[in-house]
Amino acid sequence: MQAWARAAVATTAIGAACIAYGAGYEVRSYRLRRVQAPVLPIGQPSMRVLHLSDLHLTPGQKRKVEWVRRLDALNPDVVVVTGDFLSHRDAVATVLEALDPLLARPGLFVFGSNDYYAPSLKNPAKYLMPDDGRRVLGTELPWRDLQAGLAQAGWNDLSNSRATVTVDGRVWDVRGVDDPHIKRDRYAEVAGAFDSEADLAVGVVHAPYLRVLDAMRDDGADLVLAGHTHGGQLAIPGFGALVTNCDLDRKRAKGLHRHGDSYLHVSAGLGTSPFAPIRFACPPEATLITLTALG
Ligand SMILES: [Fe+2]
> What is the reported pLDDT for 123?
67
Q: How far is the CA of 81 from the centre of ligand 1 (A)?
A: 12
Q: In which element (H, E) is residue 37 found?
A: strand 31-40
Confidence check: pLDDT of 249 > 80: yes
Higher pLDDT, 15 or 239: 239
Q: How far apart are CA 207 and CA 243, in angstroms?
A: 13
Q: How far is the CA of 178 from the centre of ligand 1 (A)?
A: 14
> What is the reported pLDDT for 125?
64
Average pLDDT over residues 251-263: 97
Phi-psi region of 190 (alpha: psi -120 to 50; beta: other; left: phi over 0): alpha
Asked if residue 275 lies in contact with residue 119, where contact means CB atoms within 8 angstroms, the answer is yes
Residue type, 94: T
Q: Backbone phi, then psi, for 240, in 5-degree steps? A: 100, -160
Q: How far is the CA of 54 from the centre of ligand 1 (A)?
A: 4
pTM of the model: 0.94
Query: pLDDT digit string (tens) for 106-133?
Result: 999 999 999 999 988 776 666 666 677 7
Q: How far is the CA of 72 from the centre of ligand 1 (A)?
A: 22
Q: How far is the CA of 85 from the centre of ligand 1 (A)?
A: 8
Phi-psi region of 99 (alpha: psi -120 to 50; beta: other; left: phi over 0): alpha
Q: How far is the CA of 111 from the centre of ligand 1 (A)?
A: 10
Q: How far is the CA of 245 from the centre of ligand 1 (A)?
A: 10
Say what percent of the chain tops pLDDT 90. 76
Confidence check: pLDDT of 142 > 80: yes
Q: How far is the CA of 41 from the centre of ligand 1 (A)?
A: 33
Q: In which element (H, E) is residue 114 found?
A: helix 113-116
- Per DSSP, the residues of 193-261 read ---TTSSEEEEE-SS--HHHHHHHHHTT-SEEEE--SGGGSBEETTTEES--SSSS-GGGSSEEEEETT
What's the length of the chain?
295
Confidence check: pLDDT of 35 > 90: yes
